Structure 1
Amino acid sequence: MTLFVEFHLIQNFAPSNLNRDDTGAPKDALFGGYRRARVSSQCFKRAIRLAAQAHGLVAPEHRGVRTKKLLGLLSERLSHRDPQEARSRIETALAAAGLKLKEDGKTEYLLFLGEGEIAGFAELIEQHWDELAGPAAGGEKKGKKEAKASAPAEVVKKAKALLNGGKAVDVALFGRMLADLPEVNQDAACQVAHAISTHRIEREFDYFTAVDDEGGPDETGAGMIGQVEFNSATFYRYAVVDAHKLLDNLQGDRELTLAALEAFTQAKVRAIPSGKQNTFAAHNLPAFVGVCLRHAGPLNLANAFERPVAPGRDQALSSLSVAELAGHEEKLAAVYADGRDRWAYLDLSGAWPSDKGEAQPNLGALARWVREQVATELEG
């Protein structure tokens, strides 16, 4: 049995630059032959993780951390120990798991670890403090192989076993890949599409000046001038979670899986990228949020906007976009969908058909609907 939990959002942002390219311009893409505004999936994934943390949607012990500064995190947990001795043992324990610290104390690449995994390493070092003592404790630098070899076989086995995802919800959702440790990779249970505008866009430029508050009467002109690119767009956002894959990634913990889906529903809707927000303050939540439980396979509805929506005087772009989304879904569902598929939605636009799914009064109710419906499916 398969169960895919899909999220379809229509969200209009005021003038903003939420996600920049290497030139500082808002990201964009060609779609359907027209230039569209774009916010990358990576950008929204981070915004989702930050929203979940800011709103306390996921317990701290079930969060993940993306960092190169694992040494510092472990040193904090071992702060009651001598710093030099602690570093030596941390290095040996990490090497036992196949992880190496560089000269600056950072790992070779960004690691995506669960809080449970980090806590597990700290506990392992405490339990095997004496066994992990070696030449590096006296200041001699060990290589990766030497550090691993200096760890007892029991510690090596335990260290490798720690890298199991640690029941971290965001690691389970978004996955991780370590090229030289493929055995600890985790395939993502969630796929997030790049958000694209439902209509064509053109770049705009803000020419700005800054005045020197201490400028004298003989000083004319601005103390600084510059320009920043921006746009305003109505976006279609899509994500899908494989509920059974999420359950597997969370080591069969059914209650945590249901809590994760409830949290993801809220975080997905509340997630707003932080790019240039001090300049634009584009804190605009979605006009429409639709959740669909699919069984035959996921259906990204972006092609509803292959022909861009055209703005009109009588209806907002967001309302026009919701109507296009509903019409396109009807066409696709008639051909590809499973008769068991179910919708629930929040609609501030008034354009979603009232007979298409269960209307929810607020975001909390929608999140609970997701939890309850998936709970029933997982039982089956």
Structure 2
Amino acid sequence: MSLVIDIHALQTLPPSLINRDDTGAPKSAVFGGVPRQRVSSQSWKRAIRLDFEKHLPAGSVGFRTRKVVEIVAEKIHSLDESIEMADAIKLAESVFKAAGIKITEKKVKKGDEIVVGAPEAGYLVFLSPRQIEAAAKLAIEGEGKPDKKKAKEAIDTKHSIDIAMFGRMLADDPSYNVDASVQVAHALGIHESEPEFDYFTAVDDFVEDNEETGAGMIGTVQMMSSTLYRFATIDVESLGENLGDHPAAREAAVAFIKSFITSLPTGKQNTFANNTLPELVYVAIRDGRSVSLVNAFEEPVGSDQEAGRRAEGAKKLATEERQIEETYGFVPLKAFVMGLGELGAPFADLAEAATLDELSASVAAFLEERSK
């Protein structure tokens, strides 16, 4: 059976605008018949990828861009400085064309003239540093006429950790697609909430110094505050297959857990400084299917709870896990809980208490033992 790691977290945000829609309003969703704050999975996955860049070795994280020709050309030039950038761009372009990836001319209007820039892919392409280097070496070796099979191989092997986890899709050629080994749910408020408006003014310092009245600027910004339920799951076997390295997959799984817990989308952070951490994290390692506990909050947590929403949320989460174990027999192989203060107490009979460092070490040790 496939080994999966389910990560559940409760995280409270003060008034903030961490993730907004096309109108500038906080993202929301209706669940259990009431509106709630929502933070998109894409937003938090982006934050996790940025956290990877800070803490994982160089080369572990890929690039998702249309400027793949330019990136490979720069690598070609660094490998062989005798190749001018103009020639390197042509060599790089030849690899992508051989691999069947659509390349278009980048045209920019400067004044009355249309200037042709470096060619770009017709869509975002997700490449790992090792794939970029392989493409650059093939471009030099092929001298503008690279082998099609080798070109495809260069772009479709040696995936970075984030490609292996979050997947990749190229519409022109499904053979390049990588099925994600990690699923991240939209973070969802555990209680009813709606946006509020903050009216603000900006003072003109010069006007103020001259004892004149009036604001230099006025405006409004929307904000929400919620206790969020966050959930993600890792298919450890699939991650190993995507990376082509099962020991590396175990290390990557632990890195993901840490980044999932500590990362935070940066939307309007300078305005609201909403730099919180989860108050509760429950990690369950299972040998079957993944199990979300979001339905613990189908009935929203009320505002009249004596113990507060965080404590009530922890109780409801533990109750949902306990009922699933009793009803379905889906008991984790191993489970851990991190909780501030007494928030982890409802999980006392369900999971082993741990700090962040202890959690990381314990999950790593368990995965290592299971691999033997």
TM-score by length of 2: 0.91
Aligned to 2:66: 68
Equivalent position amino acid for 2:122 in 1: E
8 Å CA contact 2:74–2:85 kept in 1: the answer is no
Aligned to 1:37: 37
Q: Distance in 1 between matches of 2:247 and 2:280?
A: 28
Aligned to 2:129: 115
Runs of 4 or more consecutive aligned structure 1 residues displaced over 4 Å after TM superposition: none
Deviation at 1:313, TM superposition (A): 6.3
Equivalent position amino acid for 1:5 in 2: I
Counterpart of 1:24 in 2: which secondary structure? coil
8 Å CA contact 2:282–2:336 kept in 1: the answer is yes
Query: What's the CA shift string for 1:248-268, capped at 9, x where partnerless?
Result: 1111x1221111011101100
Counterpart of 1:310 in 2: which secondary structure? coil
Deviation at 1:51, TM superposition (A): 1.2
- Aligned with residue 232 of structure 1, among 225, 228, 233: 225
Q: Residues 169-208 of structure 1 correspond to what in structure 2 (within 5 A)?
A: 169-208=161-200
Query: What's the CA shift string for 1:166-185, capped at 9, x where partnerless?
Result: 23111111101111111110
Q: Residues 45-56 of structure 1 correspond to what in structure 2 (within 5 A)?
A: 45-54=45-54, 56=55
Deviation at 1:96, TM superposition (A): 0.6
8 Å CA contact 1:165–1:171 kept in 2: the answer is no
Aligned to 1:351: 343
Count of equivalent residues:
353
Equivalent position amino acid for 2:186 in 1: H
Equivalent position amino acid for 1:331 in 2: Q
Deviation at 1:279, TM superposition (A): 0.3
Equivalent position amino acid for 1:117 in 2: Q
Deviation at 1:111, TM superposition (A): 1.0
Deviation at 1:372, TM superposition (A): 1.6
8 Å CA contact 1:91–1:100 kept in 2: the answer is no
Aligned to 1:254: 246
Counterpart of 1:30 in 2: which secondary structure? strand
Counterpart of 2:206 in 1: which secondary structure? coil
8 Å CA contact 1:10–1:236 kept in 2: the answer is yes
Q: Distance in 2 between matches of 1:378 and 1:26?
A: 43
Aligned to 1:163: 155
Equivalent position amino acid for 1:110 in 2: L
C-alpha change, 1:85 and 1:338, in structure 2 (3 Å) is same
Deviation at 1:193, TM superposition (A): 0.5
Q: Distance in 1 between matches of 2:34 and 2:281?
A: 25
Counterpart of 1:220 in 2: which secondary structure? coil
Q: Residues 1-380 of structure 1 correspond to what in structure 2 (within 5 A)?
A: 1-54=1-54, 56=55, 58-79=56-77, 80=81, 81-104=83-106, 105-129=119-143, 132=144, 151-152=145-146, 155-215=147-207, 217=210, 219-251=212-244, 253-312=245-304, 314-339=306-331, 341-352=333-344, 353-360=347-354, 362-379=355-372
Query: What's the CA shift string for 1:149-188, capped at 9, x where partnerless?
Result: xx25xx2111111122523111111101111111110100
Bigger drift between 258-267 and 369-378 goes to 369-378
Q: Distance in 1 between matches of 2:40 and 2:305?
A: 30
Query: What's the CA shift string for 1:125-171, capped at 9, x where partnerless?
Result: 22233xx1xxxxxxxxxxxxxxxxxx25xx21111111225231111
Q: Distance in 2 between matches of 1:157 and 1:53?
A: 31
Deviation at 1:314, TM superposition (A): 3.7
C-alpha change, 1:335 and 1:313, in structure 2 (3 Å) is closer
C-alpha change, 1:68 and 1:109, in structure 2 (3 Å) is same
Equivalent position amino acid for 1:17 in 2: L
Q: Distance in 1 between matches of 2:127 and 2:13?
A: 33
Deviation at 1:365, TM superposition (A): 1.7
Deviation at 1:100, TM superposition (A): 2.7
Q: Distance in 1 between matches of 2:228 and 2:47?
A: 16
Bigger drift between 294-303 and 168-177 goes to 294-303
Equivalent position amino acid for 2:121 in 1: T
8 Å CA contact 2:29–2:37 kept in 1: the answer is yes
8 Å CA contact 1:292–1:344 kept in 2: the answer is yes
Q: Distance in 2 between matches of 1:278 and 1:351?
A: 29
Equivalent position amino acid for 1:11 in 2: Q
Equivalent position amino acid for 1:237 in 2: R
Deviation at 1:61, TM superposition (A): 2.1
8 Å CA contact 1:190–1:239 kept in 2: the answer is yes
Deviation at 1:378, TM superposition (A): 3.1
Q: Distance in 1 between matches of 2:59 and 2:329?
A: 38
Q: Distance in 2 between matches of 1:336 and 1:187?
A: 28
Equivalent position amino acid for 2:99 in 1: A
Structure 1 segments unaligned to the other structure (5+ residues)? 133-150
Q: Distance in 2 between matches of 1:246 and 1:256?
A: 9
Q: Distance in 2 between matches of 1:21 and 1:312?
A: 30
Deviation at 1:348, TM superposition (A): 0.8
Aligned to 2:113: none
Q: Distance in 1 between matches of 2:285 and 2:195?
A: 37
Equivalent position amino acid for 2:257 in 1: T
* Fraction of identical pairs, as percent: 39
Q: Distance in 2 between matches of 1:198 and 1:87?
A: 51
Deviation at 1:315, TM superposition (A): 2.0
8 Å CA contact 2:104–2:120 kept in 1: the answer is yes
